[in-house]
Amino acid sequence: MCDNCKEPYYPTREKLLKYFKGEGITDVPFYRGQGCRICRRTGYKGRVAIHELVLITEEIRTLITTGARVQQITVAASKVGFKLLRYDGLKKYCSA
């Protein structure tokens, strides 16, 4: 997002609940670029990588090899700090 033309806005509570279930909703500003000459009227400047990483523990390895459901594997992964790709993207977006 372009630092020169970004402006704060507050998404609706419904929109926040769609993406941040169980995260604790507070009134924090989100930002959007309005477009300026510096960013060539796009509202964006530069790039940021979004990551999703799963550390394979013995529990996760066993779940995978026994054909466990994705939800079970996700619960096991969250025990060792796994966050969804969407979470990483939104976290980086909010801190921009």
pLDDT 10s digits, 66-88: 999 999 999 999 999 998 898 88
pTM for this prediction = 0.53
40 lies in the same domain as 80: no
Provide the total of helices (H) and of strands (E) in the chain, helices listed first: 4, 2
Domain that holds residue 55: 50-96
- Positions of E strands within 1-96: 6-9, 30-33
How confident is the model at residue 14, as a pLDDT? 81
Residue of 70, 66, 96 whose CA lies nearest to 84 = 70
> Beta 6-9 vs 30-33: how paired, if at all?
antiparallel
Identity at 20, one-letter amino acid code: F
Q: How far is Cα 44 from Cα 29, in angstroms, rounded to an integer?
A: 18
| pLDDT value at 22 more than 80 | no
11 lies in the same domain as 30: yes
10 lies in the same domain as 34: yes
4-13, 26-35, 65-74: lowest mean pLDDT where?
26-35
Report the number of distinct structural domains present in the chain.
Answer: 2
73 lies in the same domain as 96: yes
Residue percentage of the chain with pLDDT more than 90: 54
How confident is the model at residue 24, as a pLDDT? 63
